[in-house]
Structure 1
Amino acid sequence: MIESLQEKTLDLLKNLIQTQSFSEEEAETALHIQKWLQEFGIKTERLYNNIWAKNKHFDESKPTILLNSHHDTVRPNKGYTRNPFEATIEDGKLFGLGSNDAGASLVALLATFVHYYEQENLKYNLIVAATGEEENSGQNGLCELIKYLPIIDFAIIGEPTQMQLAIAEKGLLVIDGYAKGIAGHAAHNNTKNAIYEVLQDIEWIKSYQFPKESEFLGKVKMSVTQINAGSQHNVVPASCHFVVDVRINEMYQNTEVFEIIDKNTNSELKARSFRLNSSSIPKEHPFVQAGIKDGHTVYGSPTLSDQAVLSCPSVKLGIGDSLRSHQADEFIYLHELENGLKDYIKLLGNILT
């Protein structure tokens, strides 16, 4: 059955590559996924462009595992030398936009769900969800769908990790800072330069070290990434706007980090969102231990995924290499797809049966 699944899984991935699915524009790929699952006799549900299903013998008295990945993509960058929407196989590679991030992981998780769909007496329920709006952290992706799903006890998020276990993931906090001054002619002294006012805050952000360090994610990292002030050379600016990118380990919540930054700076600070928190799973979790026993390594991931919107323990585990994500001429190795499907089935089997 696995060999048959592999062929159908590859066909689905090709169809997804050949169908434009930018964030918030995933309606057609949602139809492909829904049709593919229905061909196996699986009843599917749809919310916006999110497709999900429960295993045949779903039992509310059992804990539930969520298998999730996304079918939206970023827009192709200008470096592409190939048609990003053409699924081409050359030298053991499948090229195409979304092949690595995260098409291969998505189709393999869908196939894994199919593999276990009709099995009885599983120790866990399974829910599979192919979701949209991951790349733009949109409001109608997994963060909305999760409200309609049964309680999730554990989640596997399919993102390219070379099938290693990312058991912690940094959260993201973006802060807009506003410093105020007094406008005036640059030749006079009756002014208050907003740029000078912000320098002290930027210096604190540059040098401050949050005391709690993570074994897998290291320290909280703050970076001032944008600054804007002034209109012409002879006018002292009355305002200065700057942006702080904060990558947060699992030792802190986003609100906690914001309060520390706000307390130690003079500028007016506004967080764009608090919902993209860090995530983690105990190393002692049965799934993680099963993965380690099978030779998979554990690490902390610096990149953000839909794990950020989950409140349950979760692991990021997927096919491909994160370094290929968003690059021109994106590709996945065919052997990665084949072996990844086998790994998903084997790893889940360690705790399901």
Structure 2
Amino acid sequence: MSDKTIHTLTQDAIALLKQLIAVQSFSSEEEGTALLIEAWFNNNNIPFLRENNNIWAYNKNFVAGKPLLLLNSHHDTVKPNQGYTRNPLEPTVEDGKLYGLGSNDAGGCLVSLMASFTYLYEAENLPYNVVMVASAEEESSGPKGLNSVLKHLPNLELAIVGEPTEMHLAIAEKGLLVLDVTVTGTAGHAAHPNDNVSIYNAIPVIEWFRDYRFDLVSEVLGPMKMTVTGINAGKQHNVIPAECSLVIDVRVNDKYTNTEVLEIIRREMAAKFGDNVRVNPRSLHLNSSSIRKEHPLVQAGIALGRTTYGSPTLSDQSVLSCESLKLGPGLSTRSHSADEYIFLHEIEDGIALYIKILKAFLKLEEVVIDTANLQL
């Protein structure tokens, strides 16, 4: 165990979060925050590895061949929206709230996991090796994010992904499939008759995406959801365009893979609209993810009064092929909001609960934490 107390590590974590907020770290521009994370590991005498802006460290008593438990959260942010009334890069504390871009998504989760990993770093005889990964490019699902690190993680079997869940247990997460759908017609002059107008042809296609229901409904994530989020056609008022383009946002439950969903949509499109509709995915790798409710990691959280649910939002879980749990301090609806903040007590309680859950799961000696006074 670390020589530092949980209280000391918590204060260090809050100080680190303030530093992270003050350094711009838009997705793929995380060089500055990566240096701060390196400094944390150096200050705690923990060796680390770095590739691009991803930084990771293994537990001190790593044993080759053991299964690997991943602790992960990200240090990139979205760009601040126009609704901000505060300087997004100025960490300020008011009424117990720490304001700043990335404070809730996912800085509070990141520093809480880093503090918990540091506390457990020197533990001996663990059933799992443990790796802490502070990853980049999560917000943009970029190629130099967590997915690029996975090749370095041996025997990866299980993951905790830090995202704001109010420290409840998101045991499943919807995947994302973005489709570019092209509806064709016959180009021509607007003054002449034309019974094959691409924009009109797109109407029943849009209605199909609105009305179609997939057969399989998840107990945790509910039904699939498809939404038409974009439409584009035509550039001149007097020219009938040959094509009308649609963008479809598909949220995939844990009953389907993205590939299966794509096959179903293409089959239905071909049956109803023939060759007049083309469907192309932007990517297929952002799949749904889940962990069994019966898993000992989940049960460790349930024993501490945490509830389980399914998350509609996407995270780095989507690039993992192992069972994974989304868990972290903060509130999901604050993410990407103007004047983003996290309560300081959420970080304090989050670190305590992370350590409590990990120690129970890893079968370490009991840590006395007064869970009755947790303010989550």
Alpha-carbon distance, 1:207 to partner = 1.1
The amino acid of 2:150's aligned partner reads I
* Alignment match, 1:315: 325
Question: Do the aligned residues in 2 keep the contact of 1:156 with 1:316 (CA within 8 Å)?
Answer: yes
In structure 1, C-alpha distance between the alignment counterparts of 2:308 and 2:242, rounded to whole Å: 50
The amino acid of 2:186's aligned partner reads I
In structure 1, C-alpha distance between the alignment counterparts of 2:155 and 2:142, rounded to whole Å: 22
* Alignment match, 2:312: 302
- Tell me the C-alpha RMSD between the 2 structures: 1.0
* Alignment match, 1:290: 300
Alpha-carbon distance, 1:192 to partner = 2.1
In structure 1, C-alpha distance between the alignment counterparts of 2:226 and 2:83, rounded to whole Å: 30
Structure 1 segment 64-75 matched on structure 2, within 5 A: 64-75=68-79
Q: Deviations over 1:219-251 (max 9, x none)?
A: 010111111112233322211111111000000
Q: What are the ranges of 5 or more consecutive residues in structure 1 without an aligned counterpart?
A: none
Alpha-carbon distance, 1:132 to partner = 0.5
Moved more, 131-140 or 182-191: 182-191
Is 1:270 the counterpart of 2:258 in the alignment?
A: no
* Alignment match, 1:127: 131
Structure 1 segment 144-293 matched on structure 2, within 5 A: 144-190=148-194, 192-265=196-269, 266=273, 267-293=277-303
In structure 1, C-alpha distance between the alignment counterparts of 2:105 and 2:188, rounded to whole Å: 51
Secondary structure, counterpart of 1:318 in structure 2: coil
Moved more, 225-234 or 318-327: 225-234
* Misfit runs of 4+, over 3 Å: none
The amino acid of 1:155's aligned partner reads A
Structure 1 segment 77-92 matched on structure 2, within 5 A: 77-92=81-96
Is 1:2 the counterpart of 2:2 in the alignment?
A: no
Question: Do the aligned residues in 1 keep the contact of 2:66 with 2:155 (CA within 8 Å)?
Answer: no
* Alignment match, 1:114: 118
The amino acid of 2:317's aligned partner reads Q
* Alignment match, 1:139: 143
Q: Deviations over 1:138-185 (max 9, x none)?
A: 010001111121121100000000000000000000000111111112
The amino acid of 1:237's aligned partner reads P
Q: Percent identity?
A: 58
Alpha-carbon distance, 1:288 to partner = 0.5
The amino acid of 2:28's aligned partner reads E
The amino acid of 2:124's aligned partner reads E
In structure 2, C-alpha distance between the alignment counterparts of 1:111 and 1:277, rounded to whole Å: 29
Is 1:335 the counterpart of 2:324 in the alignment?
A: no
Equivalenced residues, count:
353
* Alignment match, 1:23: 27
Moved more, 243-252 or 73-82: 73-82
The amino acid of 2:87's aligned partner reads N
Alpha-carbon distance, 1:292 to partner = 0.9
The amino acid of 2:16's aligned partner reads L
Scaled by the length of structure 1, what TM-score is found?
0.98
Q: What are the ranges of 5 or more consecutive residues in structure 2 without an aligned counterpart?
A: 365-376
Question: Do the aligned residues in 2 keep the contact of 1:173 with 1:272 (CA within 8 Å)?
Answer: yes
Structure 1 segment 21-60 matched on structure 2, within 5 A: 21-60=25-64
Secondary structure, counterpart of 1:225 in structure 2: strand
Moved more, 304-313 or 194-203: 194-203
Moved more, 140-149 or 158-167: 140-149
Secondary structure, counterpart of 1:130 in structure 2: strand
Alpha-carbon distance, 1:191 to partner = 5.5
Secondary structure, counterpart of 2:217 in structure 1: coil
In structure 2, C-alpha distance between the alignment counterparts of 1:209 and 1:147, rounded to whole Å: 37
